Amino acid sequence: MYRLALNMLFGDRAKLAMLLCGLAFSALLMAQQSSVFFGIMSWTYTPMVNIRAQVWVSDPMVEQVNDAKPLRDTDLGRVRSVDGVAWAAPLHTSFVQARMQDGNFKLITLVGIDADTFAGAPAVLSQGRIEDLRLPDTVIVDEWGAALMGRMSVGPDGKPKNTPLQVGDTFEINDIQARIVGICRVKRAFTGGPFVYTTYDRAKGYTLGARRTLSFMLVEPQKGVAPAELCDRIERDTDLKAWTSDTVIWSWGERSLARNTFWWFWTNTGIPFSFGTAVLLGLFVGIAISGQTFYSFVLENLKYFAAIKAMGAGMGVIARMLFVQAFTAGLIGFGLGAGMAQAIGRVMIEKGMPPFVMYPQILWATFALVLGISFVSAVIGIIKVSRVDAASVFRG
Amino acid sequence: MSHPAHTVAFRATGVDMFFGTPENRVVALKQADFEARRGELIMLVGPSGCGKTTLLSVIAGTLTPQAGTVEVFGQRLDGLGQEALTTFRRRSLGFVFQSFNLIPTLTVVENVMVPLLIQGRPFDEAHARALAILDKVGLKGREEGRPNALSGGQQQRVAIARALVHEPPLLICDEPTSALDKDTGAQIMQMVRDLSRSPERCVVVVTHDHRIFRFADRIAEMEDGRISRVVDDPKLLDTTHL
Ligand SMILES: Nc1ncnc2c1ncn2[C@@H]1O[C@H](COP(=O)(O)OP(=O)(O)O)[C@@H](O)[C@H]1O
Ligand SMILES: [Mg+2]
């Protein structure tokens, strides 16, 4: 009978296509919307991605990466003396205004890295060399920032034209010149504008009067020492807080600064709510569409299930037939939808817009939702068939 | 006729069946008595709304009457649970409906296989038996097509094949020819008669098509929810009101 149940499902290609489109579309919508949501949320811990280090050390009051509480310069020495530390480098981060040559101001994230080790340097430079940061008054800006801070002019066709900043261009931070020696490719941040890298010492100069400029310390564990283990040691030997740099936000450990940042934004800002409503809307539309297409499929076949019931099929057999149909359609629909979401995601990741983070958990959750919808539709169908009077098949 | 229990196919006695609420009640069957024997083709005739379909449903165990007893092949249906009734239908009944009730998304042969698969027969056996009976109803070559590609008469032949493929001892046909033209209807009845004839089987045909009365061994006439009389010869019936 299950083979016939499948043949019933596949028998009408047009209706099957409708059903699968509905399921696939809703799976796509759910997976895509959630991925964009987590993509946007992942911007909250962008510094963790752009500034690469295995262990971060901060003031004990720090809750998330965008809110640094300055450390004393002497703390660096205390951390360096902790057993298991290979090296520790200073890091400055702050949000400052940069003045463009046309006089406009732009908010930037100023990142000062250690000039000896370049610990925390961007992973990819599309132009220039990191070593040139040792030259006077030099900075490296990210591609997004280069475009954002670019020069507007009128092109030969009369339309406004943006010329991104190039290596050699200059701007000012607190009246001090910043000369671009490199363009890097980094992840965008939710707060603080484009990333501008310079050396730690020069960052002190750019932020003028700031009494303390040590925001974080970047620490490399010695070979064979696990980052989480080193964090424990640092916290035991100093009164500072130490964090790992992993960006898996799903586990409940306290060690990951990215995870803490994510959940800090989750609980302390309206951001998850405002973007979450869009996701919920996507989920809702997805559930409605797939539930509706499935339900109409069940309704159309109700008459035939009633006939099968009159001919002596028990409700157990009919229930299993409906489940076979529902789960088969659900599986195929999910497969198509998830495949499309992956494909679209690949394009989005390439473009970087909108941000897109498709955790495996999103796919599992979408899978569970689609199967849940299939399950509920099948149960509704089963209830309908069980209510339908077998005698009704005698009527026209 | 050594054993009377073998000769009676079913017997309904004093059956009452109402529909609707107590205030707004429709009486479909009122003290109806109806009996048929194995080996015969009995027709149930009467004006529209007199309760023919309801009586068939009661005998098929798809409706439970408010009063009276129904016995089919020696088994009392009252008191059987839903599951036992389902098993009874699966084993003992074949149905031919006025509106065919073929599943449009299945092929012709798959439709015919349904009763066997419901019984839990292996797919291949069901397939072979369905092909054999489709051959008998003259649909060789149409097995893999869809029912909707067939004419009304051909669809009803598929339905007959489906009703008989599992060789049920009781075949129930509700107005099998009323959706068909005169000649096709006669052909269908001829086929029902030829194929279903067996000393063990009882065939009940509900109809108000007097042109097919001649295929009956006996004709039961129904009026206002009860059988008014049973005759052996259609000429004895007053057909003016049908
Ligand atoms: N499910 C039902 N609900 C309410 N009334 C019904 C139902 N089934 C049949 N009836 C009524 O019972 C009477 C007998 O119906 P039916 O057995 O279908 O007659 P026939 O088959 O002889 O035309 C009719 O008055 C009909 O309206
Ligand atoms: Mg009727």
Q: Is B182 exposed, middle or buried (0-12, 13-18, 19+ CB in 10 A)?
A: exposed
Contacts of B103 in chain A (CB under 8 A): 8, 11, 304, 307-308
- Is B63 at the interface with chain A, CB within 8 A? yes
Q: Ligand 1 — pocket residues by CB below 6 A?
A: B 19-20, 26, 28, 48-54
Provide the pLDDT confidence category of residue A252 given band limits of 50, 70 and 90. Answer: low
Q: How far is the CA of B147 from the centre of ligand 2 (A)?
A: 23
The pLDDT of residue B240 = 56
Q: Of the spans A41-45, A51-55, A306-310, B119-123, which averages the highest pLDDT?
A: B119-123
- Closest residue to B63, CB basis, from A4, A8, A391: A391
Pairing mode, strands A195-199 and A105-113: parallel
The pLDDT of residue B69 = 95
Token pair in block for residue B106: 């299945």
For residue B221, which ligand has an atom nearest its CA?
1
Dump pLDDT digits (tens) for A228-243: 899 999 999 998 989 9
Token pair in block for residue B123: 């797919």
- Closest residue to A4, CB basis, from B90, B104, B106: B106
The pLDDT of residue B206 = 94
Angstrom distance (rounded) from CA A25 to CA A113: 46
Tell me the Cα Rg of chain A.
29
Which of A311, A388, A395 to probe the B interface (max B CBs under 10 A)?
A: A311
The pLDDT of residue A334 = 92
Question: CA-based angle B35:B37:B39, to the nearest 5?
Answer: 150
The pLDDT of residue A352 = 67
Token pair in block for residue B197: 């004839």
Question: CA-based angle A242:A246:A252, to the nearest 5?
Answer: 80
The pLDDT of residue A388 = 82
pLDDT value at A296 more than 80:
yes
Q: CB-based contacts of B97: which residues, under 8 Å, 6+ apart?
A: A307, A393, A394, B159, B174, B176
Dump pLDDT digits (tens) for B52-108: 999 999 999 988 999 999 999 999 998 898 889 999 999 999 999 888 889 999 999
In a domain, B110, yes or no: yes
Write out the H or E segment, with its range, that includes residue A109.
Answer: strand A105-113
In a domain, B144, yes or no: yes
**For residue A392, what is the DSSP state?**
G
The pLDDT of residue B219 = 94
In a domain, B3, yes or no: no
pLDDT > 90: what percent of chain A?
Answer: 22
pLDDT value at B2 more than 50:
no
Token pair in block for residue B193: 């008669």
Q: In what order do the strands lie in the sheet with B8-20?
A: B25-37, B8-20, B67-72, B75-76
- Its domain, for residue B198, covers 39-51+83-236
In a domain, B9, yes or no: no
- Give mean pLDDT, residues B144-170: 93
Dump pLDDT digits (tens) for A158-175: 888 888 888 999 999 988
Task: Give the count of domains, chain B.
Answer: 1
pLDDT value at A93 more than 50:
yes
Dump pLDDT digits (tens) for A313-324: 989 999 999 999
- Sketch the domain layout of chain A as residue ranges: 2-42+271-394, 46-246
Dump pLDDT digits (tens) for A137-148: 999 999 888 888
Stronger pLDDT, A187 or A336, i.e. the higher one: A336
Q: CB-based contacts of B93: which residues, under 8 Å, 6+ apart?
A: A311, A312, B60, B168, B170, B171, B172
Interface predicted TM-score of the whole assembly (ipTM), two decimals: 0.86
Interchain pair A307, B98: CB under 8 A: no
Token pair in block for residue A88: 């520790």
Angstrom distance (rounded) from CA A27 to CA A22: 9
CA-based nearest residue to B29, from B59, B8, B73, B71:
B59
Q: Is A81 exposed, middle or buried (0-12, 13-18, 19+ CB in 10 A)?
A: exposed
Q: How many CB pairs under 8 A join A and B?
A: 86
In SS3 terms, chain B reads as: CCCHHHHEEEEEEEEEEEEECCCCEEEEEEEEEEEEECCCEEEEECCCCCCHHHHHHHHHCCCCCCEEEEEECCEECCCCCHHHHHHHHHHHEEEECCCCCCCCCCCHHHHHHHHHHHCCCCHHHHHHHHHHHHHHCCCCCCCCCCHHHCCHHHHHHHHHHHHHCCCCCEEEEECCCCCCCHHHHHHHHHHHHHHHCCCCCEEEEECCCHHHHHHCCEEEEEECCEEEEEECCHHHCCCCCC
Stronger pLDDT, A385 or B227, i.e. the higher one: B227
- Give mean pLDDT, residues A150-157: 81
- Give mean pLDDT, residues A85-109: 89
pLDDT value at A209 more than 80:
no
CATH code of residue B90: 3.40.50.300
Query: What is the chain B residue with the closest CA to A9?
Result: B105
Angstrom distance (rounded) from CA A377 to CA B173: 34
pLDDT value at B166 more than 70:
yes
pLDDT > 70: what percent of chain A?
Answer: 97
Angstrom distance (rounded) from CA B78 to CA A7: 37
Helix A315-351 with A13-42: angle, nearest 10 deg: 50
* Position A240, amino acid: L
- Is B226 at the interface with chain A, CB within 8 A? no
Atom 17 of ligand 1, residue of closest alpha carbon: B51
- Is B13 at the interface with chain A, CB within 8 A? no
pLDDT value at B5 more than 50:
no
Q: CB-based contacts of A70: which residues, under 8 Å, 6+ apart?
A: A59, A210, A211, A212, A213, A214, A215
Dump pLDDT digits (tens) for A18-67: 888 888 888 888 888 888 888 888 888 888 888 888 899 999 888 888 88
In a domain, B27, yes or no: no
- Is B98 at the interface with chain A, CB within 8 A? yes
Side-chain-facing half-sphere of A353: CA atoms under 13 Å: 1
Interchain pair B53, A395: CB under 8 A: yes
pLDDT value at B126 more than 90:
yes
Interchain pair B117, A4: CB under 8 A: yes
Angstrom distance (rounded) from CA A128 to CA B29: 96
Interchain pair B90, A12: CB under 8 A: no
Token pair in block for residue A170: 């200059």
